């Protein structure tokens, strides 16, 4: 293959803006291609990095030499059917399918199928089209160019994870090409699969993981379900080539409110109020609870036109099938009870208004990244320091106070935003120079240690990638990390796949 490096420049980095290098670039079109590439690489000791939509922020898809394997040519649907046992539609897709394409197909009921789909049931498709508005695919990592394979490899989640859970909850089966080239098909609930016996002597993982949202290290649970080990494995155990996804049945209209508060105690009271009401009242469905601190609101003020008037914002995403007015009245009462100003609150009901709220939330991390890109012109090694930590419900107000106190003390520029429903806030520190970067990095480590003491997770959704490998040992004991490394060695004795991800090189 004659490859001019400049043609492939964009494959050398992801949204972390870290730049890597690779000797060759591959774009497999089927499982056999992947298998051949991996077998050749293993024989010749060549490291391979799997690349998805490159929306990751931890440099997991950034190669450090060796070969790069992009999944973008495997982007079709391979099956669609209704599973009557679980009462859910299932769609099987190749891993390089972008989330935006999947959404487009689910919204129209028209699927871009491979030539000979394995499980395509025309009647199911017809039935689906008639109830299309009652089915959703909830995982939403904000960036719609993320691929389903990348989302599987990072156990992606998003705003609606508050109600519906992360990617793991929607994966019913996967096809994986192992580092030795073997192709295996794993269905949820199976401990062993197909003709392969590679799993027979696999070391088990028996450490515990936080009960909060969590995406750090290999998944361990009493169920020892094989599929779970590959979900969230960040391109280190195998190349995921196909995924069977479940759709979620929903009723009612989406409505979103934004309420403004003056302090953390009020924010925490409102979030707790929403959670409690949703827990005891089946008709009060809260899909997402998101947050922006006052500095975040200032950063998007030019586009929001008025949201920067002070305070902190909490977005509540509701799904209402009963009386919209009475549901909104309850929310209004909760705002009052939590010392918020109900007159400042905003409501989005129409699709354009809902889209505007969502695009403002997307705009914020983009503004942060733009600021850092500007500063990198003077200090090329500078990156933003974005935390991704979650704590249990009882620690929400404490963690918000701690973050703010320490950040003010450090005088570092920062914003705090994110998935407050899961007590999962992104603290973004924006260093102005290398000295500030070092100071921010120390603070980051302090936050991680604090979060672990609270029984939380040091990475709730972005994963560890190459940039946060030092966090693994903050979260897990040395014995647990040895278990993870043994698992990695079992599948990939030469440590070639996703080298540098999870474990430092």
Ligand X SMILES: Cc1cc2nc3c(=O)[nH]c(=O)nc-3n(C[C@H](O)[C@H](O)[C@H](O)COP(=O)(O)OP(=O)(O)OC[C@H]3O[C@@H](n4cnc5c(N)ncnc54)[C@H](O)[C@@H]3O)c2cc1C
Residue with smaller CB distance to ligand X, 52 or 317: 52
Using the rule CB under 6 A, which residue among 240, 267, 318, 429 binds ligand X?
A: 240
Residue with smaller CB distance to ligand X, 172 or 266: 172
Are the CB atoms for 5 and 25 separated by under 8 Å?
Answer: no
Q: Does 35 bind ligand X (CB under 6 A)?
A: no
Query: Hey, how many other C-beta atoms are within 10 angstroms of the C-beta on 450?
Result: 18
Using the rule CB under 6 A, which residue among 31, 42, 72, 143 binds ligand X?
A: 143
Are the CB atoms for 399 and 264 separated by under 8 Å?
Answer: no
3-state secondary structure at position 318: strand
CB of 67 to ligand X, least distance (A): 12
Would you put residue 311 in left (φ > 0), alpha (ψ -120 to 50) or beta? left
Burial of 200 (0-12, 13-18, 19+ CB in 10 A): exposed
The candidate with the shortest Cα–Cα distance to 458, out of 372, 412, 384, 399, is 399
Residues 412-471 that bind ligand X (CB under 6 A): 461-462, 465
CB of 277 to ligand X, least distance (A): 24
| DSSP codes, 368-410 | HHHHHHHHHTTSTT---EE-BEE--GGGHHHHHHHHHHHHHHH
Question: Which window, 150-158, 180-188, 390-398, 405-413, contacts ligand X (CB under 6 A)?
Answer: 150-158
Residue with smaller CB distance to ligand X, 144 or 252: 144
Residue with smaller CB distance to ligand X, 24 or 262: 24
- Residues 425 and 387: their CA atoms lie apart, in Å, by 8
**Residue number with the shortest CB distance to ligand X?**
150
Residues 82-111 that bind ligand X (CB under 6 A): 95
- Residues 381 and 309: their CA atoms lie apart, in Å, by 35
Using the rule CB under 6 A, which residue among 239, 314, 389, 429 binds ligand X?
A: 239
Which tokens sit at 197?
Answer: 């016996």
Residues 109-138 that bind ligand X (CB under 6 A): none
Burial of 308 (0-12, 13-18, 19+ CB in 10 A): middle
Q: Does 154 bind ligand X (CB under 6 A)?
A: yes
Q: Does 181 bind ligand X (CB under 6 A)?
A: no
CB of 239 to ligand X, least distance (A): 5
Q: Using CB under 6 A, count the residues that bind ligand X.
A: 38
Q: Does 244 bind ligand X (CB under 6 A)?
A: no
Q: Does 68 bind ligand X (CB under 6 A)?
A: no
Residue with smaller CB distance to ligand X, 51 or 475: 51
CB of 54 to ligand X, least distance (A): 4
- Residues 363 and 350: their CA atoms lie apart, in Å, by 20
Q: Which helix (H) or strand (E) holds 274?
A: helix 264-280
Which tokens sit at 224?
Answer: 């020892």
CB of 326 to ligand X, least distance (A): 31
- Kindly compute the dihedral angle of the four CA atoms of residues 346, 349, 352, 354, in this order, to the nearest 10 degrees: 70
Residues 337-366 that bind ligand X (CB under 6 A): 365
Q: Does 386 bind ligand X (CB under 6 A)?
A: no
- Residues 261 and 282: their CA atoms lie apart, in Å, by 27
Q: Does 34 bind ligand X (CB under 6 A)?
A: no
Residues 4-23 that bind ligand X (CB under 6 A): 14-15
Burial of 29 (0-12, 13-18, 19+ CB in 10 A): exposed
Residues linked to residue 290 through DSSP beta bridges, in sequence order: 315
Using the rule CB under 6 A, which residue among 179, 317, 456, 498 binds ligand X?
A: 498
Using the rule CB under 6 A, which residue among 71, 227, 335, 451 binds ligand X?
A: 71
CB of 445 to ligand X, least distance (A): 21
Using the rule CB under 6 A, which residue among 151, 173, 205, 427 binds ligand X?
A: 151
Q: Does 372 bind ligand X (CB under 6 A)?
A: no
The candidate with the shortest Cα–Cα distance to 174, out of 226, 115, 130, is 226
Which tokens sit at 459?
Answer: 């990475």
Which tokens sit at 315?
Answer: 């977005």
Using the rule CB under 6 A, which residue among 39, 142, 180, 330 binds ligand X?
A: 142
- Residues 266 and 335: their CA atoms lie apart, in Å, by 9
For the stretch 321-328, contacts whose Cβ atoms lie closer than 8 Å and that sit 24 or more positions apart, written own/partner, are 321/251, 321/252, 321/253, 321/283, 321/285, 322/252, 322/283, 324/253, 324/255, 324/349, 327/255, 327/283, 327/284, 328/255, 328/257
Binding marks (x or -) toward ligand X, 295..334, rule CB under 6 A? Answer: ----------------------------------------
Binding marks (x or -) toward ligand X, 40..59, rule CB under 6 A? Answer: ---------xxxxxxxxx--
Residue with smaller CB distance to ligand X, 269 or 388: 388
CB of 125 to ligand X, least distance (A): 25
CB of 479 to ligand X, least distance (A): 25
Residues 218-237 that bind ligand X (CB under 6 A): 234-235
Q: Does 382 bind ligand X (CB under 6 A)?
A: no
Chain residues that interact with ligand X, rule: CB under 6 A? 14-15, 49-57, 60-61, 71, 95, 141-143, 146-147, 149-151, 153-154, 156-158, 234-235, 239-240, 365, 461-462, 465, 498, 501
């Amino acid at each position: 293959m004659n490859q001019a490096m400049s043609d492939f420049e964009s494959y050398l980095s992801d949204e972390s803006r870290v730049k890597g290098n690779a000797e060759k670039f591959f774009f497999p079109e089927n499982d056999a291609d992947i298998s051949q590439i991996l077998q050749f690489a293993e024989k010749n000791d060549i490291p391979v990095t799997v690349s998805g939509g490159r929306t990751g922020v931890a440099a997991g898809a950034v190669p450090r030499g060796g070969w790069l394997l992009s999944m973008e040519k495997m982007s079709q649907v391979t099956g669609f059917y209704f599973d009557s046992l679980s009462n859910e539609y299932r769609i099987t897709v190749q891993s390089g399918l972008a989330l935006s394409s999947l959404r487009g197909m689910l919204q129209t009921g028209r699927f871009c199928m491979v030539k000979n789909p394995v499980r395509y049931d025309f009647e199911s498709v017809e039935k689906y089209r008639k109830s299309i508005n009652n089915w959703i695919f909830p995982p939403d990592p904000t960036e719609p160019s993320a691929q389903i394979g990348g989302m599987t490899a990072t156990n992606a989640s998003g705003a609606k994870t508050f109600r519906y859970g992360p990617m793991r909850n929607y994966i019913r089966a996967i096809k994986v090409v192992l580092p030795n080239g073997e192709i295996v098909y794993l269905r949820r609930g199976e401990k062993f699969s197909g003709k392969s016996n590679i799993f027979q002597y696999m070391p088990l993982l028996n450490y515990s993981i936080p009960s909060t949202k969590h995406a750090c290290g290999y998944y361990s649970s009493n169920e020892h379900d094989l599929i779970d080990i590959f979900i969230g494995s960040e391109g280190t155990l195998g190349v995921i080539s196909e995924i069977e996804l479940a759709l979620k049945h929903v009723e009612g209209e989406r409505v979103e409110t934004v309420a403004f508060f003056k302090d953390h105690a009020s924010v925490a009271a409102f979030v707790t109020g929403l959670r409690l009401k949703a827990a005891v009242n089946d008709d009060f469905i809260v899909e997402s609870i998101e947050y922006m601190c006052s500095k975040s609101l200032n950063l998007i003020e030019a586009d929001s036109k008025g949201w920067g008037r002070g305070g902190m914002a909490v977005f509540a995403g509701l799904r209402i099938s009963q009386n919209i007015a009475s549901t909104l009245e309850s929310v209004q009462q909760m705002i009052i009870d939590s010392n918020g100003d109900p007159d400042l609150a905003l409501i989005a009901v129409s699709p354009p208004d809902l889209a505007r709220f969502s695009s403002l939330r997307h705009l914020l991390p983009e503004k942060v990244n733009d600021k850092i890109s500007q500063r990198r012109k003077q200090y090329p090694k500078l990156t933003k320091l974005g935390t991704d930590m979650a704590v249990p419900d009882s620690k929400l107000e404490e963690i918000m106070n701690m973050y703010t106190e320490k950040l003010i003390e450090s005088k570092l520029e920062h914003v705090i935003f994110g998935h407050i429903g899961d007590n999962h806030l992104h603290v973004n520190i924006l260093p102005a120079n290398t000295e500030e970067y070092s100071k921010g990095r120390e603070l980051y480590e302090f936050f991680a240690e604090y979060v672990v003491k609270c029984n939380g997770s040091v990475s709730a959704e972005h994963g560890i990638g190459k940039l946060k490998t030092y966090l693994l040992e903050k979260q897990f004991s040395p014995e647990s990390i040895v278990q993870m490394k043994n698992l990695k060695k079992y599948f990939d004795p030469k440590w070639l796949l996703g080298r540098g991800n999870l474990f430092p090189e």
